[in-house]
Chain A
Amino acid sequence: MKQHRMRLIEQNQPAPGIMRMIFKAPDLARNSRPGQFVQIRVTDTFDPLLRRPFSIHRTHSNGTIEILYRIVGRGTRLMSRTRPGVRLDGMGPLGNPFQTEGNFSTALVVAGGMGSAPAFMLIDTLLKTGKSIHFFWGVRCDDEFFHLEWLRSSGVELHLACERGDTGHQGLITDILEPMMNRYPDSKGFVCGPKPMLEKMQRMIRTFPIPWEVSLEEKMACGVGVCMGCAVRVGQKIQMVCSDGPVFDLREVDFGS
């Protein structure tokens, strides 16, 4: 059974404009891997109709899972008003996870904006493998950073960029990543974030021969590969972001521009 009655434990804002929900959902927490997602039904009625997909932000051994979201429409507005104790229907874990095993010594984790949602679970998992982790995190405004102290104390090398603010580089995260990339030949890259950033990353890594995995975001209806709504061209084939991804080889994704 992959459908869960997830009990909301807590809802808070780790940073302005970013909402975090913490659910008790032991099966889901135990079985989720970084990069996978959960399809949440935001209401018991049929309007808004469709589930919303959310990357799994973190899981904990006490059977809780966290998701992050921004309030962007009717569905997320309803979610933001959900009170602790309420149970939401979640399908998951869905999709294919990042491959964190392998013969690389350094992980380059690159996140832009809400790409931080899957990045944290990825970092949690990588920390257990003993690999060294460089986290390149770019946001619009520097008040969107959170958990920086925890990241530093965990031994993660932080590289920050914001378009507005005083924390880290003033500009795009790709600005600081590009000149640094060749320092880590024995590494593997993981990237999640907005499409323009992913396209830029794809151009940047042409001359940097390490494997790069990307987690794509797309609007979805079913989340399990039946409606064929979230198509993307990867390599020569049409793939579904929900069931063939959301993690793909960054070099193979056709961003259609």
Chain B
Amino acid sequence: MAVDLQVRLGSLVLKNPVLTASGTFGYGVEYAGYFDVSRLGGIVTKTITLEPREGNPMPRTAETFAGMLNSIGLANVGADCFIKEKLLPLEPLDTAVMVNIAGSSPDEYEKVALKVAAHERVDALEVNISCPNVNKGGLAFGTDPEITREVVRRVRETTVKPLIVKLTPNVTDITAIAQAAVEGGADALSLINTVLGMAVDIETRRPLLARHVGGLSGPAIKPIALAKLYQTVRAVSVPLIGIGGIMTWQDALEFIIVGATAVQAGTLHFVDPCGAVKIIEGIKTYCDEKGIGDLSSIRGSMEDGGA
């Protein structure tokens, strides 16, 4: 019997637990020529802000060991253009659409949420309070429990659709932020956003990113992501979405065994555009071979002690 991969995030039912991470999958159709996007559990769009944003100065990406730094700065078309032009191509897709949103004030979060969540094709919002590459909002909000609670509460008031809050690892205690987000009304949490990082060219003695520091992603951050997930699983009872360096189905299963309900693949798309589908297939095969009929039976099934 084929394994049941269906998972729930609040009221939202996903056909499988594999999603795309914001900022790595554009507006959802850019990779359509490479694989059938409808096979995914869901797509999370690029961050949408109230006004269009050009993003940060160049250079804004750099490769590091088993990872990459980015300081894109939430470049996007803005909420109005997103609704007018980017949602229509998503209509025929048989997959959940989650729109990642950000603002430079709680007020702006509320405004963009109000605009975006009202659209029928939008199944859920992911609230980005963890971008390390902007001066206002982003990381500055997601490192403070009070502001986190306030931002989430304001967005919560705009919609009954599932609300996912995306957390930063760049804090002393991620569980304090996780609890604040749940108190604010989050239905689910996604973690982690990128890890603050830096790299320097020793010839020119310049940082590789124009904005000096940026967000590290890729396989290099997976152990950090797992540890943050491990801490958060014990602190809150809402579903958690694991993110951070997931490149293979084995990586995804680690997150699920620690307690993730779903996972997001991000930097993977740049390396292998079809990688997310390979993760879904790999999880299926693993479950079939182990006689697992329902994926949820292994969620959070990690045993004590070392391997």
Q: Do A and B bind each other?
A: yes
> Are B219's CB and A49's CB within 8 A?
yes
Asked if B223 is at the interface (CB within 8 A of a chain A CB), the reply is no
Q: How many residues in A have their beta carbons less than 8 Å from beta carbons of B?
A: 30
Asked if B202 is at the interface (CB within 8 A of a chain A CB), the reply is no
Whole-angstrom CA separation of A159 from B303 in the bound complex? 71
Asked if A70 is at the interface (CB within 8 A of a chain B CB), the reply is no
Whole-angstrom CA separation of A89 from B31 in the bound complex? 16
- The B interface is mostly helix, strand or loop, or mixed, namely loop
- The A interface is mostly helix, strand or loop, or mixed, namely loop
> Are B72's CB and A49's CB within 8 A?
no
Which A residues are CB-close (under 8 A) to B271? 41, 46, 49-51
Closest chain B residue to A233 by CB distance?
B54
Asked if A48 is at the interface (CB within 8 A of a chain B CB), the reply is yes
Which B residues are CB-close (under 8 A) to A50? 63, 68, 270-271
> Are B60's CB and A229's CB within 8 A?
yes
> Are B63's CB and A48's CB within 8 A?
yes
In angstroms, how far is the closest chain B Cβ from the Cβ of A45? 9
Q: Knowing A2-B34, A49-B68 touch, does A231 contact B270 (C-beta < 8 A)?
A: no
> Which of A3, A220, A227 contacts B34 (CB under 8 A)?
A3
> Which of A3, A51, A226, A238 contacts B24 (CB under 8 A)?
A226
Q: Knowing A2-B33, A224-B31, A227-B270 touch, does A49 contact B66 (C-beta < 8 A)?
A: yes
A-B pairs with beta carbons under 8 A, tally? 94
In angstroms, how far is the closest chain A Cβ from the Cβ of B110? 25
Whole-angstrom CA separation of A39 from B58 in the bound complex? 21
> Are B55's CB and A231's CB within 8 A?
yes
Query: Which residues of B in the span 168-213 have a Cβ within 8 Å of any Cβ on A?
Result: none
Asked if B262 is at the interface (CB within 8 A of a chain A CB), the reply is no
Whole-angstrom CA separation of A46 from B54 in the bound complex? 30
> Which of A47, A48, A220, A238 contacts B75 (CB under 8 A)?
A238
Which B residues are closer than 8 A to A by beta carbons? 23-26, 30-31, 33-34, 46, 54-55, 58-63, 65-68, 70, 72, 75, 218-219, 247, 267, 269-274
- Kindly list the 10 A-B residue pairs having the minimum CB-CB distance in the complex, ordered from nearest: A226-B26, A229-B61, A47-B66, A228-B75, A222-B270, A46-B219, A238-B54, A221-B270, A226-B30, A228-B72
Which A residues are closer than 8 A to B by beta carbons? 1-3, 41, 46-51, 89, 91, 218-232, 238, 243, 256
